[in-house]
Amino acid sequence: MLEVLCGLAAVVAGAVASVAGFGIGSILTPLLSLTLGTQLAVAAISIPHVFATAARFWMLRQHVDRRVLLSFGLLSAAGGLTGALLHSVASNPALTLVFSGLLIFAGITGITGQARRMRFGAKVAWVAGALSEMLGGLVGNQGGIRSAALLGFGLDRKAFVATTTAVGLIVDAARMPVYLATSASELRSATGLIVLTTVGVLVGTALGTRFLRRIPEERFHRIVGGLILALGIFMLVRAARGA
């Protein structure tokens, strides 16, 4: 039953990530943590995550905004790696509450259209990239806060997803060696679930990328804002229960 649920959730996660630029870790990590534990689940999900991110990048590579990638993406990798390394020593419920509040705020601005009125200059973009990825790494959810930060760049739907995917691929390349070095033996014991979720997210990625083409431009940012808001509320409730 768990395998069927993980497979279906992986397809949904891949499809959501193809529209919002995040969702694989947000959806699959809580599910896999039920059987693997949170720390191993985070490491295990990084494998299907990198495959899906690479596939999504390949399909949308011509739409990447290189200016935003250079100004936002480079320090994002450093921030994400720092956050992942500090996760075990700096993570706490209060930090998750702050993170949830930021996501809820970003989600509301995305739904109302306020996010599109914001514009980040190069210097602000570097800071936003580093801080958003570090905070996301600390609480174990980088994709959501990355998409929230990128809402302020005014990108069209394909450029938004392609650029956040490119940044995610850089972050994955920075953090994967850490997970493989620290959890290699444990990951081998979860090979079945890793293969199942990898196939699922790839199927979802293909379906979601097709759906992305059909979303009207004027509705796209509201859809992403709604997904970010939902993630923020989910994390807020989970943090409150764990407090």
Q: Burial letters for 55-89: b for 16+ Cβ neighbours within 10 Å, e otherwise?
A: bbbebbeebbbeebbebbbebbbbbbbbbbeeeee
Query: What integer pLDDT is reported at residue 118 of this predicted model?
Result: 58
d(CA 127, CA 130): 5
pLDDT per residue as tens digits for the range 141-153: 667 777 877 877 7
d(CA 58, CA 116) in angstroms, rounded, equals 26
pLDDT tens sequence across 163-222: 989 988 887 887 788 778 878 888 998 999 999 999 999 999 999 999 988 888 778 878
CA distance 208 to 211: 5
Instruction: Give me the pLDDT at residue 241, please.
Output: 73
Q: Is the dihedral of CA 96, 133, 207, 153 positive or negative?
A: positive
Using the Cα atoms of residue 36, residue 38, residue 43 and residue 47 in order, give the sign of their dihedral.
positive
Predicted local confidence at residue 148, as pLDDT? 76
Closest among 218, 175, 213 to 25, alpha carbons compared: 175
DSSP state of 21: S
pLDDT at residue 232, as a whole number: 83
DSSP string across 104-147: HHHHHHHHHTHHHH----HHHHHHHHHHHHHHHHHHT-HHHHHH
Q: At 194, list the tokens.
A: 């890793």
Q: What pLDDT is recorded for position 64? A: 94
pLDDT (mean) for 116-128? 58
- Written as six digits, the tokens of 94 are 């209060």
How confident is the model at residue 85, as a pLDDT? 65
pLDDT, residue 84, reads: 64
Q: Is the dihedral of CA 20, 21, 24, 25 positive or negative?
A: negative
Q: Name the CA radius of gyration of the chain, rounded.
A: 16
The encoded tokens of residue 49 equal 């995550």
| Range name among 10-24, 61-75, 183-197 with the lowest pLDDT average | 61-75
In percent, the amount of the chain with pLDDT more than 90 equals: 24
Q: Which two tokens stand for residue 90?
A: 């700096």
- Specify the DSSP class assigned to residue 190: T
Tell me, what's the pLDDT at 138? Answer: 59
- Residue type (1 letter), 191: T
CA dihedral (215, 219, 225, 230) in degrees, to 10, reads -70
